[in-house]
Every structure is written in structure tokens, then in C-alpha cells.
Amino acid sequence: MGMILIDDQLTKRENAHIDIEDRGYQFGDGIYEVFRVYNGKVFRMQDHLDRFQRSADEIGLQLPYGLDRLQSFLEQLIETNGLSEGNVYLQASRGVAPRSHPFPEESRSVLVAYTIEGERPLEYIRNGIRTITEADIRWLRCDIKSLNLLGAVLAKQKAKEHGCQEAILHRDGTVTEGSSTNVFLVKDGQLITHPANNLILHGITRLVVLELAEELGIPVKEETFTLEDLRKADEVFITGTTVEISPVVQIDDYHVGDGKPGPVVHRLQEAFEKQI
């Protein structure tokens, strides 16, 4: 990890400390972003920064400085740590104040960022993943990339206990997204994914897939679909910053299609590779 960013300073991790009354620690009162780095460069940096700002605005959190300056600090962090392939984690909390539920009258947000080395998940991309379905018990503002991730953590843990890589969430049978991904199905050559409303996070890779589908002439519907629709799909795949475009070959106890990645996801993966 090397150096980390705290507010506007790069420092060694062992020199960094967070106060026990930080509202991110006590209330989950904050937001975060995860950026993917390829060959030392952040993929879709501006889209991530814009979403970070939107999340801050939605919860009334004042960032310590503007996005241009933040981008400069993140680029400096990547260069200082010599990160070529991996991720950058960025978080902002509402700051330190005596513990009380309402926003403190005076507090300054605390911003933290660090780098994580990590190779691309090529096995998942090429061969697909196994998933389970799980009830979506999260709050109703999933469009905000907040620190409140316990519902997602529980779903991901259950998937792991079942030997799977992801949990596909649903509300009364209507599929929303994965515990840390967006979900697409393919039926008769058409992509279908949940609308980008308050029930899902509008993923950056999701956005890229929608753009690529338009370029490739693949029809897309952003509309709700059910667990039964998922069961009848020709192909299913998930998208996310760290999983890219990963085919789903098994859901619960049944195979998707013929149990192998399909032709539509292959086309999208090839186009995504060119963007990288």
C-alpha cells in the first residue's frame, strides 16, 4: 500500500489515525468510491468522481475540496505507490463530532484514499461465476454509494458459504442487482437490466456496457424483471469495477443457458477490452 491520502496529505499508513468519534466509524455516515487502475491509469476517472460528488450531495456532505484537486491527489497517490494494476479506494465521512444522530453544527469531513494491487479477474471473465439468489434487505437509497454495507456483506457472505462468487438480490421476486454488482440478462439477443433508480447503484461498468451495446447495435431495455425471467434467460452477466463483465453460468441449483458464457457477453467483453 505504501502511502495513503488523508485529507490533503500523503502519509505512511502507520502514521495515519482516525478518531473514535468519526461519524463514518460510528454511524456509517459517509460515502466511498472504488476506481480501477489499468497500466497506471484510472479507468473512467471522471465518471467515478462525478458519482462521488453526487453521493456527497445526496447526504448533504461537504467535501473538503473540489474534484479537480481530488483527482490530482489520486493521481499523485497512484504514482507515488507505483500502482500499475489494481484499485484505489476513496472514502469521505462527515467528520469528527460528539456522538449524536443529527448532523453536527460544526464538523469537517474526513477524506481517505489508498491503493490496492490486484490482477484482473480473468478466470471469472472467461469461465463465468456461480451465484445464489437472496432477498434484498437493504435500505431504499441504494443509488447512494454510502458506507452502510451490512446488507450487502451478509448477502456476499451467504454466497461464499454456498461456494458462489455473488448473490443476486431481489425484492419480492423482482431482481434488483448483485450484492456488489449490477445484473444483466440476455433474452433473444436483447439486454435487460434494472432501471437506474433508488433501488440500485448506477454502476460505472453498467454505464460502459450500455454505451457499448449501443455501439454494437445490441438492443437494451432498462426495465424490471423477475426471478422467473432470470431463470428463462439465454445469458446472464454481472458488471462492476472489480469484476468487469463476468458471465453468470449458474444461479442457485440451475445452469444459465448451456452453462457456458454466451455470444452476447463475449461481444461486450471484446469491446470492453478495447476500451481498456
Known catalytic residues are 145
Q: Report the SS3 class of residue 231.
A: helix
Q: Of 159, 162, 211, which Cα lies nearest the Cα of 181?
A: 159
CB burial class (10 A; 0-12, 13-18, 19+) of residue 104? middle
Neighbours of 41 (CB within 10 A): 13
Q: How far apart are CA 87 and CA 56, in angstroms?
A: 21
Residue type at 58 in one-letter notation: E
Beta-strand ranges (E) seen in 17-145 are: 30-38, 41-42, 86-93, 110-117, 129-135
Q: How far apart are CA 175 and CA 59, in angstroms?
A: 26
Beta-strand ranges (E) seen in the chain are: 3-6, 9-12, 30-38, 41-42, 86-93, 110-117, 129-135, 166-171, 174-178, 182-187, 190-193, 220-222, 235-240, 244-251, 254-255
Are 91 and 28 spatial neighbours (Cβ–Cβ below 8 Å)? Answer: no
Q: How far apart are CA 156 and CA 164, in angstroms?
A: 9
Are 45 and 158 spatial neighbours (Cβ–Cβ below 8 Å)? Answer: no
